[in-house]
Amino acid sequence: MKLFSSVYDVPNVKALVDEALQLKQNPYSYQHLGKNKTMALVFLNPSLRTRMSTQKAALNLGMNVMVLNMDKEGWALELRDNVIMNGNSVEHIREAAAVMGQYADIIGVRSFPGLKIREEDYNEMIFNKFVQFCGVPVVSLESATRHPLQSLADLVTIEELKTRERPKVVLTWAPHVKSLPQAVPNSFAEWMCKADVDFVITHPKGYELCTDFTNGATIINNQDEALADADFIYVKNWSAYEPYGKIFPGNGDWMLTNEKLKGTNNAKVMHCLPVRRDLELSSEILDGASSIVVHEAANRVWAAQAVLKRMLEKLSD
């Protein structure tokens, strides 16, 4: 694997999930693969789980790791071509990415969407420029439209904890005060549509995701109806795709509570984190037995390690 940016970069999703679960059993069995290899993790936005789990995954494989908080510590990046750089940007992505590729064998990049110009975000302008100019394999650490390491960890978690062969998985919209990206729900939908699960999405009218990601999912606007008999409930807020990046007033009653879990199949509740307590998700759920959010976050390591292992194997081909 030379690029990990979406589920379409994975030839066999089931095999990658199995690999992650095997690595969880034997974290250090491939330390030789990463010897004298360097991973660079480049952040244009904040991160806790992605940074720490990917760093740990690389260390478990014997790699050296460098982290650059580009947004805070790097030079202000210019992303556009054909502009005279007489403003605030100091360094062009062409040079910055090319130089990083000289120092690292694999690069991870995080770049959130601007949520203003849909075309720029959905063309993955920033992420694709890194890929184009760095010259080494690239892993998405969440791009404008997807968060594939999160989605892989989510699928690993579902495979690990499911109690029936084909579980029912429901992605539910949750309330928030800010306009958040569609990357996590887009990506989760894309991976669930490729998995052996019964997949339902529920959201208030107006929060329809881009259909490129939801093809194959059942969409139900009534949350109670959608949650019936669910084995896993994936909670996430996102802003509208159309009008792009907008949020609508109301819908506070979409927050998941214990009461809403009553008609489910003893559902386990997931969230990618960070989560805003008692706005997006109730404390009673987060502190109760149905929440698996920390377990899910722990699985981020094995998801990242499975991906990096595939990339390292390709490097030594």
Residue 272 beta carbon to ligand SN0: minimum distance, rounded to whole angstroms: 5
Residue 81 beta carbon to ligand SN0: minimum distance, rounded to whole angstroms: 27
As a whole number of angstroms, the distance between CA 259 and CA 122 comes to 37
Instruction: Select the residue interacting with ligand SN0 from 12, 178, 205, 222 (CB under 6 A).
Output: 178
Which of 48/83 has CB closer to ligand SN0? Answer: 48
Q: Which stretch binds ligand SN0 (CB under 6 A): 30-38, 255-263, 268-276, 299-307?
A: 268-276
Which of 134/293 has CB closer to ligand SN0? Answer: 293
Residue 149 in contact with ligand SN0, rule: CB under 6 A: no
Closest CA to 189 of 210, 166, 167: 210
Residue 181 in contact with ligand SN0, rule: CB under 6 A: yes
Residue 130 beta carbon to ligand SN0: minimum distance, rounded to whole angstroms: 18
Residue 256 beta carbon to ligand SN0: minimum distance, rounded to whole angstroms: 16
Instruction: Select the residue interacting with ligand SN0 from 56, 94, 194, 276 (CB under 6 A).
Output: 276
Residues 6-35 that bind ligand SN0 (CB under 6 A): none
Q: Which stretch binds ligand SN0 (CB under 6 A): 58-66, 76-84, 98-106, 174-182?
A: 174-182
Cβ pair 231, 169 in contact under 8 A: yes
Instruction: Select the residue interacting with ligand SN0 from 152, 183, 209, 301 (CB under 6 A).
Output: 183
Give the total of residues touching ligand SN0 (CB under 6 A).
8
Residue 173 beta carbon to ligand SN0: minimum distance, rounded to whole angstroms: 12
Beta carbons within 8 Å of 99's beta carbon, 6+ residues apart: none
Residue 265 beta carbon to ligand SN0: minimum distance, rounded to whole angstroms: 27
Tokens representing 216 are 């194959």
Which of 51/260 has CB closer to ligand SN0? Answer: 51
Instruction: Select the residue interacting with ligand SN0 from 29, 274, 278, 295 (CB under 6 A).
Output: 274
Residue 162 in contact with ligand SN0, rule: CB under 6 A: no
Which of 184/269 has CB closer to ligand SN0? Answer: 184
Label each residue of the chain as H, E or C.
CCEECCHHHCCCHHHHHHHHHHHHHCCCCCHHHHCCCEEEEEECCCCCHHHHHHHHHHHHCCCEEEEEEHHHHCCCEECCCCCCCCCCCCEEHHHHHHHHHHHCCEEEEECCCCCCCHHHHHCCHHHHHHHHHHCCCEEECCCCCCCHHHHHHHHHHHHHHCCCCCCEEEEEECCCCCCCCCHHHHHHHHHHCCCCCEEEEECCCCCCCCHHHHCCCEECCCHHHHHCCCCEEEEECCCCCCCCCCCCCCCHHHCECCHHHCCCCCCEEECCCCCCECCCECHHHHCCCCECHHHHHHCHHHHHHHHHHHHHHHHCC
Instruction: Select the residue interacting with ligand SN0 from 180, 192, 255, 304 (CB under 6 A).
Output: 180
Residue 194 in contact with ligand SN0, rule: CB under 6 A: no
Residue 272 in contact with ligand SN0, rule: CB under 6 A: yes
Residue tagged 């887009």 (tokens): 186
Binding site for ligand SN0 (CB under 6 A): 178, 180-181, 183-184, 272, 274, 276
